[in-house]
């Protein structure tokens, strides 16, 4: 995929490119059969509905669910909102006395904000810290659930900044022991690590198309049927998706998500092996350029494509990125990279602020080539040296102003 003058994309946590096979699968549903899958009175509508149901089967198969347990949404942000607020509001309407909603400090903002929003509706949000390696302390979770009746535990599968993989089977077992619902945001996990809703005892699981080489604007929510998990919908409308998510089903996007899940189910282990090879090659090359380069959240299991790297020498990640404009990486989560604040995830690890500001997130993906990782390592190494030289050469006041 390397072309002259084309930037090198190592930001596959923010989003992934659409797999050409996904694009090919979607195309007829834009061009030839554009019918509304709800228009079951006519042939085109019924064909679109069938394509949607095929896709639902592929999504379900990727996570060990039944097709009837999959709802289509606009993405993981919506799935997380629907899971957390929907479960809480339904339980509230039933007069629940379980008011705690427990999550992690390193969750995606859409989970943290959904949980915090519930405070205004009478719930008690509890945001647990993580250990320095980014993992949840399971004893702390156990103690938190033992202390007060808990409605819902929401723990992400794979972190979008530091790539660490939580022990979901252990989290699910603890949640069930205390009678709580278990939701997991698996946006970064699908297609990267095996997922099985039965094995981890999940009641709710969120997925996103554009994190697994599918299209943007489509996602899914797994909703357990046995025993049945009930939600209050966020939207009023035409009653699609069993009344839980009204709105015309975007058949082309759903077909794309289905194809992305089908490919992931078959190729995830191959992807992970190849991507781990590229990661090792990249890290070895960059370490040779940048002595003292350090990995954040080292020691925890992580997905193959992730590196959260703290650069030495007192320069910021932003300075390095400015000096390497051909390399697309990230200083934190994409959603907050416009802010000057260091990322809440790196803060939650307890990293000193200077180290958090000197951290680059690298996301290697299915389409990253060996040539690209070589070029990126060389470019980032040179950029790091330039950033240091610039600091040393800058008037004293200027270096201070960038702190
Ligand atoms: C990207 C991401 C989201 C948001 O997903 P969208 O489909 O873009 O709404 C939520 N959680 C995690 C962990 C993510 O990486």
Query: What digits encode the pLDDT tens for the residues 289-318?
Result: 999 999 999 999 999 999 999 999 999 999
Query: Which of the residue ranges 26-35, 207-216, 226-235, 388-397 would you say has the lowest mean pLDDT?
Result: 388-397
Contact (Cβ atoms closer than 8 angstroms) between residue 364 and residue 295: no
pLDDT greater at residue 346 or residue 400: 346
Strand partners, 302: 164
> Residue 31: how many CA atoms within 13 Å on its side-chain side?
6
- Model confidence at 225: pLDDT above 90: yes
Residue 399 is predicted with a pLDDT of 43
Rg, the chain, Cα only: 22
**Are 206 and 296 within one domain?**
no
Tens digits of per-residue pLDDT, 28-76? 999 999 999 999 999 999 999 999 999 999 999 999 999 999 999 999 9
* pLDDT value for 385: 97
pLDDT of residue 1: 47
| Residue 110 designated active-site | no
pLDDT of 40: 96
Instruction: Give me the pLDDT at residue 25, please.
Output: 98
Q: Are residues 192 and 308 both part of a single domain?
A: no
Say whether both 238 and 287 belong to one domain. no
Check pocket membership of 75 for ligand 1, CB cut-off 6 A: yes
Q: Does the pLDDT of residue 377 top 60, yes or no?
A: yes
pLDDT in tens, 88-112: 999 999 999 999 999 999 999 999 9
* Structure token pair of residue 190: 């699908």
Identify whether the C-beta of residue 200 lies closer than 8 Å to the C-beta of residue 224: no
What is the arithmetic mean of pLDDT over 113-131? 98
- Domain end among 228, 263, 298: 263
Q: Comparing 399 with 219, which gets the higher pLDDT?
A: 219
Whether 245 and 182 share a structural domain? yes
Ligand 1 atom with least separation from CA of 210:
7
Domain count, the chain: 2
**377: closest CA among 284, 275, 313, 306?**
284
The two three-digit tokens of residue 343, written as one number: 């990322």
Q: Would you state the pLDDT for residue 158?
A: 98
Which of 129, 135, 126 has its CA nearest to residue 84? Answer: 126
Establish whether residue 185 lines the binding site of ligand 1, counting it when its CB lies within 6 angstroms of any ligand atom: yes
Residues 59 and 179 in one domain: yes
**Residues 206, 70 share a domain:** yes
**Binding site membership of 208 for ligand 1 (Cβ less than 6 Å):** yes
Crossing angle of helices 76-93 and 109-117, rounded to 10°: 20
* 159-195 pLDDT tens trace: 999 999 999 999 999 999 999 999 999 999 999 999 9
Domain edge (last residue) among 221, 247, 263: 263
Pocket test for ligand 1, best of 71, 108, 250 (most atoms within 8 A of CB): 108
Indicate the pTM of the whole model. Answer: 0.95
Residue 88 belongs to a domain: yes
Residues 293 and 204 in one domain: no
Work out the percent of the chain whose per-residue pLDDT is above 70. 94
* Neighbouring residues of 354: CB distance < 8 A, sequence distance ≥ 6: 314
Instruction: State the pLDDT confidence band at 333, using cuts at 50, 70 and 90.
Output: low
Average pLDDT value over all residues in the chain: 95
CA distance 339 to 265: 36
- Between the alpha carbon of residue 61 and those of residues 70, 195, 241, 293, 321, the distances in Å are 10, 10, 18, 40, 40
Residue 6 is predicted with a pLDDT of 83
Alpha carbon of 192 to ligand 1 centroid (Å): 15
**128 bridge partner residues:** 104
Confirm if 81 and 110 have CB atoms less than 8 A apart: yes
pLDDT in tens, 240-250: 999 999 999 99
In a domain, 3, yes or no: no
Structure confidence at residue 397 as a pLDDT band (50, 70, 90): very low
Position 351 scores a pLDDT of 95
The answer on 83 and 159 residing in a single domain is yes
The average pLDDT across 72-84 equals: 98
Quick check: 131 pLDDT over 70? yes
Q: Is the peptide bond before 227 cis (omega within 30 degrees of 0)?
A: yes
Query: Which atom of ligand 1 lies at the shortest distance from residue 334's CA?
Result: 1
pLDDT score of 395 more than 90: no
For 277, the domain range is 8-16+268-401
- pLDDT(400) > 50: no
Nearest CA to ligand 1 atom 3: 76
Q: Per the domain annotation, does 2 fall within a domain?
A: no
Q: What is the mean pLDDT of residues 224-239?
A: 97
CATH number at residue 300: 3.90.1150.10
Shared domain for 124 and 255, answered yes or no, is yes
Query: Which atom, in ligand 1's list, is nearest to the CA of 159?
Result: 13
């Amino acid at each position: 995929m390397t072309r002259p003058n084309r930037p090198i994309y190592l930001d596959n946590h923010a989003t992934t490119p659409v797999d050409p096979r996904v694009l090919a699968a979607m195309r007829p549903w834009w061009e030839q059969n554009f019918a509304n899958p709800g228009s079951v009175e006519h042939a085109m509508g019924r064909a679109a509905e069938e394509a949607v149901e095929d896709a639902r089967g592929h999504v379900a198969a990727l996570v060990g669910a039944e097709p009837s347990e999959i709802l289509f949404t606009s993405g993981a942000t919506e799935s997380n909102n629907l899971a957390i607020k929907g479960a809480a509001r339904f339980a509230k309407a039933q007069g629940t006395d379980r008011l705690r909603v427990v999550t992690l400090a390193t969750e995606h903002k859409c989970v943290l904000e959904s949980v915090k929003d519930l405070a205004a509706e009478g719930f008690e949000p509890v945001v647990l810290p993580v250990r320095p390696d980014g993992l949840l302390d399971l004893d702390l979770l156990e103690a938190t659930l033992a202390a007060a009746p808990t409605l819902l535990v929401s723990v992400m599968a794979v972190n979008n900044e530091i790539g660490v993989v939580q022990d979901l089977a252990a989290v699910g077992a603890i949640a069930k022991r205390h009678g709580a619902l278990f939701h997991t945001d698996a946006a970064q996990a699908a297609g990267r690590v095996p997922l099985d809703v039965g094995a981890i005892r999940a009641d709710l699981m969120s997925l996103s198309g554009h994190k697994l080489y599918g299209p943007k604007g489509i996602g899914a929510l797994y909703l357990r049927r046995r025993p049945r998990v009930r939600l209050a919908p966020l939207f009023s409308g035409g009653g699609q998706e069993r009344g839980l998510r009204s709105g015309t089903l975007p058949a082309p996007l759903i077909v794309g998500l289905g194809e992305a899940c089908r490919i992931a189910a078959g190729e995830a282990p191959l992807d992970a092996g190849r991507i781990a090879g590229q990661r090792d090659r990249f890290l070895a090359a960059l370490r040779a350029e940048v002595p003292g380069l350090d990995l954040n959240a080292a020691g925890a299991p992580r997905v193959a494509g992730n590196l959260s790297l703290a650069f030495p020498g007192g320069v910021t990640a932003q300075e390095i990125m400015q000096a390497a404009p051909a390399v697309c990486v990230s200083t934190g989560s994409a959603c907050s990279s416009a802010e000057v604040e260091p990322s809440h995830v790196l803060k939650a690890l307890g990293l000193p602020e200077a180290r958090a500001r000197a951290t680059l997130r690298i996301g290697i993906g299915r389409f990253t080539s060996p040539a690209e990782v070589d070029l990126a390592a060389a470019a980032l190494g040179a950029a790091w040296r330039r950033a240091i030289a610039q600091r040393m050469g800058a008037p004293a006041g200027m270096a201070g102003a960038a702190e």
